[in-house]
Amino acid sequence: MSETENELLLEVEDLHVEFRTSDGVANVLNGVSYSVHAGETLAVLGESGSGKSVTAQTVMGILDVPPGVITGGAIRYRGEDLLTATEERRRELRGAEIAMIFQDALSALNPVFTIGFQIEEQLRVRQGMSKKDARKRAIELLDIVRIPAAERRIKDYPHQFSGGMRQRAMIAMSLALDPDLLIADEPTTALDVTVQAQIMDLLSEIQRERRMGLILITHDLGVVAETADRIAVMYAGRIVEQADVRELFRAPGHPYTSALMDSLPRLDLKGQTLETIKGLPPSLLDIPPGCPFHPRCKRAEQRCSEERPSLHGLGFGRVSACHFAEEVVESRG
């Protein structure tokens, strides 16, 4: 694990991905750019279908091709462009340098092999460990993620674990090769609130101890507020806002982010009707002209339906893709 302070681990630059289907071409990613440093947590936030998971799959090199086609951009890990690297090189990096926790642990784990075997296999294959040493290390990893009676539970199959324990086992597998960058794709999906908090506390603790870069893909603003350093908000395959977590929660600079904030339950608004975002996200087969959010935006004007805004700076390292971002910030500040 590198100890370099603020080392730039990952740069995603102007990434474009389309899905070529029988219904037409879906523009799934439309110029996504973000970066992650050592020890930093970047939360990628947005509704389902915004492109969060597809970006992560493209970074990991596990995008289904076809129907997915990368049509532009670059993904650099420590300066090395992964999109031009050989598949052999991608396999070397996958797991050992960049690892991923999938949102559905039951589907990601192989049901016919024990938890222990699935952790031990990568240690034997990738690090050349003996069976005895791999078993010892696997038990240590289950202890790290706080699975009780790890020495006994390592012989169990995925279906014998609860949802929260399966997610802990997935985390143990992702940590087995000591990666420098971890991507967590909706790691608390389908877990109850108490278990969600435990999983996120565990991830945050491990990340701090190991100085990992962490990309947290989620739609849960509460989780983001507790764990993230920076936030990238996605809509219709684009980053529409990036900001430090405190700045974004204090005064979002995009109407979509602002609307997401307004849809959160608040103690000071007890008994009042929650705000909702009218309408649905656009079809990626037919993204509207101008700003993709304009059909649902309360602040939309004629310009918004004709001219697509680019990301521009708002100070303090934050950017927003809205023609009226400064006004949005002022109204919330």
User: pLDDT for 84-99, tens place per residue?
Assistant: 999 999 999 999 999 9
pLDDT band at 4 (very low <50, low <70, confident <90, very high): low
Give me the domain span that covers residue 285. 239-264+274-332
State how far the Cα of 203 lies from the Cα of 198, in Å rounded to an integer: 9
Burial code (b: 16+ CB inside 10 Å, e: under 16) for 74-98 equals ebbbeeeebeebeeeebeebbbbbb
Percent of the chain with pLDDT over 70: 96
Nearest to 96 by CA among 115, 77, 72, 83: 77
**Residue at 216: amino acid letter:** L
Polymer length of the chain: 333
Is 94 a domain residue? no
- For the cut 60, the answer to whether the pLDDT of residue 237 exceeds it is yes
Is 246 a domain residue? yes
Cβ contact 139:154 at 8 Å: yes
CB atoms within 10 A of CB 278: 10
Which residues, 6+ apart, have CB-to-CB distance to 153 below 8 Å?
115, 142, 147, 161, 165
DSSP 269: G
Task: Estimate the crossing angle of helix 163-175 against helix 115-127, to 10 degrees.
Answer: 10
pLDDT band at 274 (very low <50, low <70, confident <90, very high): confident
Is 118 a domain residue? no
Q: Which two tokens stand for residue 22?
A: 């029988």
- For the cut 70, the answer to whether the pLDDT of residue 2 exceeds it is no
Is 155 a domain residue? no
State how far the Cα of 9 lies from the Cα of 221, in Å rounded to an integer: 25
**In terms of C-beta density within 10 A (0-12 exposed, 13-18 middle, 19 or more buried), how is residue 102 classed?**
buried
The mean pLDDT of 151-166, rounded to a whole number, is: 94
Split into its structural domains, the chain has a count of 1
Is 316 a domain residue? yes
- For the cut 90, the answer to whether the pLDDT of residue 81 exceeds it is yes
Q: Which two tokens stand for residue 312?
A: 């521009």
- For the cut 60, the answer to whether the pLDDT of residue 1 exceeds it is no
Is 318 a domain residue? yes
State how far the Cα of 154 lies from the Cα of 121, in Å rounded to an integer: 13
Is 174 a domain residue? no
pLDDT band at 316 (very low <50, low <70, confident <90, very high): confident
H helical segments located in 10-129: 52-60, 87-93, 105-108, 115-127
pLDDT band at 3 (very low <50, low <70, confident <90, very high): very low
Tell me the pTM: 0.92
Taking only the tens place, the pLDDT of each residue in 19-77 is 999 999 999 999 999 999 999 999 999 988 899 999 999 999 999 988 999 999 999 99
Is 13 a domain residue? no
